Amino acid sequence: MFFSKKKQTKEIDYNNLPKHIGIIMDGNGRWAKRRGLPRSMGHQAGSETVRTVIREANKIGIKYITIYAFSTENWKRPKEEVDYLMSLLLDYFKNAEKYLAGENGIIRVIGDRSVFNDDIKSEIERVERMTADNTGNILNIAINYGSQEEILMGVKKIAQKVKDNELNVEDIDAKLFSSMLYTKDQPDPDLIIRTSGEQRLSNFLLWQSAYSELWFTPKNWPDFNRGDLEQAIYDFQNRKRRFGGVDSE
Ligand code: FPP
């Protein structure tokens, strides 16, 4: 019998899935440049990847996904590119019902939304309201999100409570601090994926990623697919997570 040269797909363990996956979707611009296309086409392709990857992650059974769609630093990009990204986001929210495809999913936005125009703000509120009582998977979309700003926001809330005598300094602990963040009530990410070969967190979920496994791929975001997601999950399942302790065996 001849052995197939085709690479064997590694089986992921559906009983040991990461609960929460964070994704830094990088490389849209390089994907476009390599094809001689404008950067906007890379973002357009990237937004299609968002839809397919979220659908596949839901099918696999990942309960929480957080995608980094626009950082507090992304405002430094040319106005034309920022406007295009905003139009893709607006399209996503406007068509969220269609993209969720009746999967009963919940959409939440994390980040400072106060700076957005009324169109985007009201669409965000509509989608959050519309999906709030659903019982499916939770998609956090990070827009105008920066982890340092989020941490400072938490520090300020706590300082105010101490100042107002609502809280004793001795009662401040990690659990309380977590409850001041956008991701309150959600488990920390077990796995963070970054595409395009860059290996850093870029101000994404810094507090929440204290014990996350980090997984990098050279693929640019528009080329990322279900096979890559399964590979990341497979690798995650084959790492030893000790959370600062020692192996039990
Ligand atoms: C990084 O690629 C990507 C972004 C800054 C934006 C991510 C946005 C999307 C994937 C599309 C919109 C999102 C939704 C939810 C519809 P880059 O531009 O930094 O690529 P480069 O490093 O190659 O230039």
pLDDT of residue 246: 77
Query: In this model, does residue 153 exceed pLDDT 50?
Result: yes
Q: What average pLDDT does range 206-231 have in this prediction? A: 98
Catalytic residues: 26, 74
Cα-atom radius of gyration of the chain, to the nearest Å?
Answer: 19
Of residues 98 and 207, more confidently modeled? 207
Query: In this model, does residue 1 exceed pLDDT 70?
Result: no
What would the two tokens of residue 128 be?
């959050």
pLDDT of residue 97: 86
What would the two tokens of residue 39 be?
């950067």
For the chain, the average pLDDT equals 94
Query: In this model, does residue 165 exceed pLDDT 50?
Result: yes
What is the percent of the chain where pLDDT is above 90? 89
Residue 181 contacts residue 111 (beta carbons within 8 Å): no
User: 62 CA to middle of ligand 1, Å?
Assistant: 22
pLDDT tens digits for range 169-212: 999 999 999 999 999 999 999 999 999 999 999 999 999 999 99
What would the two tokens of residue 29 be?
């611009």
Q: Say how far apart CA 107 and CA 110 lie, in whole Å.
A: 10
Instruction: Answer whether 222 contacts ligand 1 (Cβ < 6 A).
Output: no
- ∠ CA 212-216-218, rounded to 5°: 170
User: 243 CA to middle of ligand 1, Å?
Assistant: 31
Q: What share of the chain is helix, strand, coil (3-state, %, to 5)?
A: 45, 15, 40
Query: In this model, does residue 67 exceed pLDDT 90?
Result: yes
User: 194: closest CA among 71, 20, 24, 22?
Assistant: 24
Helical (H) or strand (E) element with 64? strand 64-71
pLDDT of residue 249: 55
| CA of 71, closest atom in ligand 1 | 5
| pLDDT category of residue 101 using cuts at 50, 70 and 90 | low
Q: Say how far apart CA 204 and CA 240 lie, in whole Å.
A: 23
Identify which of 43, 65, 71 to mutate to test ligand 1's pocket (most ligand atoms within 8 A of the CB): 43
What residue type is 199 in one-letter code? Answer: Q
Q: Say how far apart CA 91 and CA 113 lie, in whole Å.
A: 16
Residue-level length of the chain: 249
E-only strand ranges, 120-195? 138-145, 191-194
Q: What average pLDDT does range 110-127 have in this prediction? A: 96
